[in-house]
Amino acid sequence: MSKFLILITVFLIVTGLFRPLLRKLRLGRLPGDFLIQRGSFRLYLPVTSSIVVGLALIVMVWLFRH
């Protein structure tokens, strides 16, 4: 369990470091990520991005177990 938490933490740190680069490459908003704006209200639902991150985590965990 501790290896998994360390892996998630490292992944989040790396993702945070590369976030400006990903925005320049237009990878911050994938098709399927929803943005709802109503006046001053703003809701961002990163559905596709969450699926991609989840798949990346599954692959990383699978690689560390084998």
Kindly report the pTM of this predicted structure.
0.55
Spell out the residues 6+ positions from residue 35 whose beta carbon is closer than 8 angstroms to its own.
29, 42, 43, 44, 45
Q: Which domain holds residue 7?
A: 2-65
The number of distinct structural domains making up the chain is 1
Contact status, residue 31 vs residue 48, Cβ threshold 8 Å: yes
**What tens digit of pLDDT does each residue of 42-55 get?**
888 888 878 887 88
Q: Which residues pair with 45 in a beta bridge?
A: 34
**Of 49, 54, 53, residue with least CA distance to 27:** 49
Share of the chain above pLDDT 70, in %: 89
